[in-house]
Amino acid sequence: MEEIATSFLIASTNPKKLSEFYALVCNGNVSNGLNSNHYLIIYRENLKIHFYKPSMKHQSLCEGPSSSALCFQKESSLDPLLKLKEWYKETLALGAEVLMEPKNEFFGAEAWMQDPEGNSFLLLVPLLVLTN
């Protein structure tokens, strides 16, 4: 069975500043993420807190209880959307609801879901980048 990493996501209008705050609170170190709007505190390979600034279309994620969520991440793939869609269907069959359909992003594929009790979570499959 493929390993799934679990991490926490916190949407923020200023992810760098918020990640620095939490690093001080929990005696951690901030690492750069995928771009200038993404930062991480890494405890172990499969235990991270992500801080990110949502796109302008999704700024509402920075407000209220939806600003934090669990993130479930599978291994990187050359075709992350295909891999995500299979996982997405399995999750729907378990009773999850769709908040945002699976879509490709520059970093991979993601789908925002809601569990049977109304809590938001993210399914993420990063894009596998081959280097020479």
Q: Does residue 132 lie within any of the structural domains?
A: no
Query: Domain limits at 15?
Result: 5-126
pTM over the 0.85 mark: no
Q: Does residue 29 lie within any of the structural domains?
A: yes
The pLDDT tens digits of the residues spanning 64-88 come to 555 778 888 899 999 999 999 999 9
Regarding predicted confidence, which is higher, 132 or 127?
Answer: 127
> What dihedral angle (degrees, nearest 10) is formed by the CA atoms of 53, 35, 131, 126?
-10
Q: Does residue 51 lie within any of the structural domains?
A: yes
Please count the structural domains in the chain: 1
As given in the structure block, the two tokens for residue 69 are: 């969520």
As given in the structure block, the two tokens for residue 121 are: 């979570």
The pLDDT tens digits of the residues spanning 102-131 come to 999 999 999 998 887 787 889 999 999 888
pLDDT for 30 equals 93
Say if CB 71 and CB 8 are below 8 A apart.
yes
Q: CATH number of the domain at 114, please.
A: 3.10.180.10
Q: In the structure, what pLDDT confidence band is assigned to residue 24 with cuts at 50, 70 and 90?
A: confident
Kindly tell me if the per-residue pLDDT of 31 is higher than 90: yes
- CA–CA separation, 26 vs 100, rounded Å? 31
Amino acid 19 reads S
Q: Looking up tokens 């980048």, which residue turns up?
A: 129
pLDDT for 58 equals 57
Kindly tell me if the per-residue pLDDT of 62 is higher than 60: no
Q: Does residue 65 lie within any of the structural domains?
A: yes
Q: Does residue 131 lie within any of the structural domains?
A: no
